[in-house]
Amino acid sequence: MREDFLHFLWRWRRFDAHDLRTTDGQALEVLHPGELNRHAGPDFFNARVRIGDTLWAGNVEIHLNASDWLAHRHDGDAAYNNVVLHVVLEEDRLLTRSNGTRLPCLELRRRIPPSLLDKYLRLEHERAWIPCARSFAGVPEIVRSNWLDRLLVERLEQKTALVEQTLQATGQQWEEAFYRILARHFGLKVNMEPFEALARALPLRLLAKHQNSLFQMEALLFGQAGLLDEAFEDDYPRALAKEYRFLRHKYDLTALSASSWKFFRLRPAGFPTLRLAQFAALMHRSTLLFSAVLSARNPGEMEQLLGVEPGEYWRTHFRFDKSTAPRSKSLGREFVHLLLINTVAPFLFHYGRTKGISEKQDRALQLLEGLPAEANTVVDDWAELGQTAGNAARSQALLHLKSHYCDAKRCLECAIGTAILR
């Protein structure tokens, strides 16, 4: 048993409260369990309990064993001086306050309903894809739906932490921060870090000076990526390398290492060379993309902002010096949707919250609701349990549920888990 189960029992009063007494025999009445504290300090703040004839208002601390109070050194921590009740599974040691009076204690060992304990232990020891796989279908749809709505916002808030961090690093320059995070997601998981490092090594203001020339855009991006330091056979990359040498000297630039980029096990459409060419085409269209996002009236216009075709050389290449049959190399719709999900929606949401413009936050949610659900094994596995994702808002919530609650077995912090236990 984990301590969070005792938190659940206390918070929702799911223990037997008949003839409730402290371990020294005093009558106990729980008027309010207090507010759960997820940070440092006692587990529940501002509880109200009646012990004997005295009404106490203060904090409640919860442990599996009473001796944990000493093991965690609460006896020497002033933050615990206002604890009015110690709730434990078992009182294996008598505790006193600093003034010598006994610390009131409630022991729950014999007050846990057997059926509830059985459900909890099954969740705790389940080895299925998610702990509640066998019980999930029995949870009312309204409970699941409301919880997923909340998790979507939680996921957006989590993603905005990176937005805020990037804004601080760029001196609150929204366009520069958007450029960096957009570049990061151009690399997907495999080349995410080198793409972000490239954006830091090549500031947007410098790139914007050459916006009118796609050739110079590519020279700067490929050169700074460290991918032009070869003896090329094709005229085009040789010309790019020559242009980059001039620009590198002009701006005193330092390139990344070519070894930073991963090609292994990627399909040609995902090669970093092609992604860089597509990114160059996007920057050639506009270096004020975030302003364009803010002006877009609907998800369709946002999608059009990101739909670009790279330069002519890339019609017959995925990488330098290796020609292929001619074909369009425009950004695929599914990839554009990922950029909208992972970059545009979090930026809109954070901008709206920071500036106090709720309409922008709503637009971020509407954007996700208007995009198709992501196609991956996690979403497919949820569908097998009967929880389909009709749009990206739902798939994002389901991904968050799996990675942040199910995988960590945070069942007692999950509305679905607590519904099963109630």
Q: What is the pLDDT of residues 146-192, one digit of tens each?
A: 999 999 999 999 999 999 999 999 999 999 999 999 999 999 999 99
Which pLDDT value is given to residue 199? 98
Query: Hey, CA dihedral for 293, 299, 301, 305, is it positive or negative?
Result: positive
Here the tokens at position 94 are: 């008598």
Here the tokens at position 102 are: 């006994």
State the pTM of this model.
0.85
Q: Mean pLDDT over residues 253-281, rounded?
A: 96
Rounded Cα distance between 335 and 185, Å, is 10
Cα angle 214, 217, 219; round to 5: 110
Rounded Cα distance between 396 and 374, Å, is 8
Here the tokens at position 413 are: 């912090």
Q: What is the pLDDT of residues 325-360, one digit of tens each?
A: 999 999 999 999 999 999 999 999 999 999 999 999
Q: Give the closest residue to 220 by CA, choosing from 248, 186, 261, 197.
A: 248
8 A C-beta contact, residue 386 and residue 139: no
8 A C-beta contact, residue 30 and residue 62: no
8 A C-beta contact, residue 290 and residue 362: no
Q: How far is CA 421 from the centre of its chain?
A: 26
E strands, 234-366, are: 317-319, 322-323
Cβ-proximal residues to 78 (8 Å cutoff; 6+ apart), any chain: none
Q: What is the pLDDT of residues 214-227, one digit of tens each?
A: 999 999 999 999 99
User: Of all helices (H) and strands (E), which one includes residue 174?
Assistant: helix 174-186
